[in-house]
Structure 1
Amino acid sequence: MNRKTALKGILGVVTLGVSSGVLYEFLKSDGGIPIELLSQKRELIAALAGVIIPRTDTPGAKDAKVHDFIIKMITENTERKAQKSFLAGLSSLEHHTYTHYHKQFTDCNNIEKNEVLKHFEDKGNYSPEILNKVRKKLFGPSFFYQLRDLTVQGYCTSFLGATKGMAYDYIPATYEACIPLRNNQRAWATK
């Protein structure tokens, strides 16, 4: 047997093993939160968004009410498999937090909250990139990446995020295609 054939076989077995594990997790997680009850998790989603974009000298995601945006996007504008992935991830996060810290996520300190989110970031990402693409195609995006993307999108499109968190010029005097950023300038809210 040559080395190329052996490596292909090993890669096939690893891919099959990882994908079957992901399939098992996806199918067994059907007992997640029903989509109608997502609005009851408002405080948890607000705490999660607040960890991703915390309040500093600018308003945070909680101040911009990003949690309302996330709930609306998941319930109204997300396909079923992505909804299922998000809801299963939310249930998994609650379970993980309670088993490791013996309290709810909202009661954890900032270090514990960051550790929980780091765990879910690592859990939602495989080292061979092809496995991430297969997982996303079959089961939708992972919980953490949905949460992160919706938090950033909601923050950047909110009034507070665009005007206080970013540089915003609501009536530009002239059109300039490329403007270099000054030192310590925030990113532009408009393009």
Structure 2
Amino acid sequence: MKRRELLRAGVLASAAAALPRTPALAQNTAPSPELTPAQSGVDASKDLAAPGWKPLFLDAHQNETLIVLSDLILPATDTPGAKEALVNRYIDLVLAAETPETQRAFLNSLGYLDGESMRRYQAAFRYLKREDQDDLLHALAYPRANSGWTGEAGGPDVGHGHFEQLKQRIITAYYSSQTGERELGWDGAFAHGSYEGCNHPEGSHK
């Protein structure tokens, strides 16, 4: 099974994003809580795809690093990848509304990636050769197994934890975008529902 198919299976079971809704949408729609923002009619992509878009939260280097990372985790295949889906912009939008603790946690994880890149290759992650980027992510993607030789319990795998936080943000943002929703089978129809008037005969109300 391809990596994209494995991710899709996991997201179908659990992923749900929290993109903010505009006041107008909040007044005019009452979507089911099980619907993702794209299915509920929250089309943030229009603003996020604007030519003059600038990050609300991330700085320029963090944004470019996130673009590179997301494209490695969810590359374009026969369907658009994270870069085409503007995943970095969705994540920036969500982070701008998050708590300071959540914001710091994300930046710590992004910073850890750059720190490991500098330590191993003497360059920030976004500037590495593709094969070096792949090697670094492969090293972080799997938790280090305790050898058991000392009989001591292994400590937390900090690098793997940071990688998982970044990966989950990217996957959730992708499958909450309209691009990701269409890959999951959504046909593009918004769940506004239809208005039906009262069916009681005239004069029957008290």
Question: Into which bin does the TM-score normalised by the smaller protein fall?
Answer: 0.5 to 0.7
Q: Which of the residues 63, 70, 75 maps onto 1:54? A: 75
- Gaps (5+ residues) in structure 2? 1-55, 147-154, 190-206
Inter-partner Cα distance in structure 1 for 2:94 and 2:57 = 14
2:109 maps to: 89
Q: Percent identity?
A: 24
Alignment pair present for 1:155 and 2:174: yes
Matches within 5 A, 1:1-150: 38-40=58-60, 41-77=62-98, 79-122=99-142, 142-150=161-169
Amino acid at match of 1:62: K
For CA contacts below 8 A with separation 6 or more, give which structure has more relative contact order: 2
TM-score by length of 2: 0.51
The structure with the greater share of residues assigned to helix is: 1
Residues 73/157 of structure 1: CA separation in 2 closer, same or farther (3 Å cut): same
Q: Is the Cα–Cα contact under 8 Å of residues 70 and 170 in structure 2 kept in the other structure?
A: yes
Give the Cα separation in 2 of the matches to 1:170 and 1:67: 22
1:110-146 deviations in Å (ceiling 9; x for gaps): 33212222333346x786xxx76xx9xxxxx943222
Q: Count how many residue pairs are aligned between Structure 1 and Structure 2.
A: 127
Q: Give the Å deviation of 1:96.
A: 1.6
Which residue matches 1:166? 184
Q: CA deviation at 1:158?
A: 1.2
Q: How does 1:171-186 map to 2 (within 5 A)?
A: none
Q: 1:37 to 1:105 in 2, by over 3 A?
A: same
Within 1, Cα distance between the matches of 2:58 and 2:96?
Answer: 8
1:86–1:142 Cα contact (<8 Å) kept: no
